[in-house]
Amino acid sequence: MRIIITDDYAELSQRAAEFVAQALCAKPNLVLGLATGSTPVGLYDELVRLENDGELDFSQVVTFNLDEYLGIPEDHPQSYHHFMEEHLFGRLRERPRATHIPPAQPDDPLAAAEAYEQQIRAAGGIDLQVLGIGRNGHIGFNEPGSSLASRTRPVVLRAETIRDNARFFDSPADVPRYALTMGIGTILEARRILLLASGPNKAEAVARAIEGPVTAACPASALQLHPDVIFLLDAAAAAELQQADYYRHVEQLTRELQQRHARSHGAGQSVNVVPFAGRSS
């Protein structure tokens, strides 16, 4: 695991955009997994800026979003379809080659879930999956208690998630109770995972995900099983990590070694090793 602790949300968003940009430059037809919510908004702003300035090209990219509410129209202002248009797709000069978001009103949610899995497989799997984390440790809409091997499926949202998301709706009663989400097993198949967490209300979930046991009680802890996961945190979200100083030290050393490697092998080469912490670049 690579754990990067940034000073604040602005730096977190900047670093997240660098990871996406690096992946996109290395593979123009990147298969990119995307999240919604407050956390990736700064990342999307930065990606839009880079694309509008001509520094990034999404025209060959294929995207897959993690999840969507079930039961609201896709043009509802709080649907994740709407969110993606508003924050990313609709602001690009040229849209990605294909965008996928689970349907919000499928006739048969089970068939829609299986079709989504099939679409991911047909695209060759996800190269880089961006994640946020819920205060209860959820990733996607995999709530505590989700099987760590779960696949894309309809799920029932927990009361705390409905409360957390009520801020986006006129009233808590308007928040959908169900969603269609990639499973934890689906997420773990992404070749690289970039989890973003910002703010003090994420600190406990982040600490449980990184330093707690691997358990369905904290779905994000399943990421400990992934060989190439990056936790990109701001200082407030990292505040409850017991080993924060150690992670900072490892990250400083990692960057020094990467710079030394880039100097001796040319800037285009990246190292695929994080000393002491797992595999990453």
Choosing from 3, 4, 66, 238, the residue that interacts with ligand F6R (CB under 6 A) is: 66
Using CB under 6 A as the binding rule, whether residue 183 contacts ligand F6R is answered as: no
CB of 218 to ligand F6R, least distance (A): 13
CB atoms within 10 A of CB 217: 14
Choosing from 6, 13, 39, 150, the residue that interacts with ligand F6R (CB under 6 A) is: 39
| 275 DSSP β-pair partners | none
3-state secondary structure of 56: coil
CB of 49 to ligand F6R, least distance (A): 20
Distances in Å between the Cα of 234 and the Cα atoms of 165, 229, 237 are: 21, 16, 5
Using CB under 6 A as the binding rule, whether residue 132 contacts ligand F6R is answered as: yes
Region from 7-15, 36-44, 46-54, 239-247 binding ligand F6R, contact rule CB under 6 A: 36-44
The catalytically annotated residue of 65, 138, 142, 165 is 138
Please state, in angstroms and rounded to a whole number, the distance separating the CA atoms of residues 218 and 137.
5
Which of the residues 12 through 31 are near ligand F6R (CB under 6 A)? none
Is there a catalytic annotation at residue 240? no
CB 208 within 8 A of CB 221: yes
Using CB under 6 A as the binding rule, whether residue 138 contacts ligand F6R is answered as: yes
Using CB under 6 A as the binding rule, whether residue 219 contacts ligand F6R is answered as: no
Please state, in angstroms and rounded to a whole number, the distance separating the CA atoms of residues 246 and 275.
12
CB 123 within 8 A of CB 30: no
CB of 175 to ligand F6R, least distance (A): 12
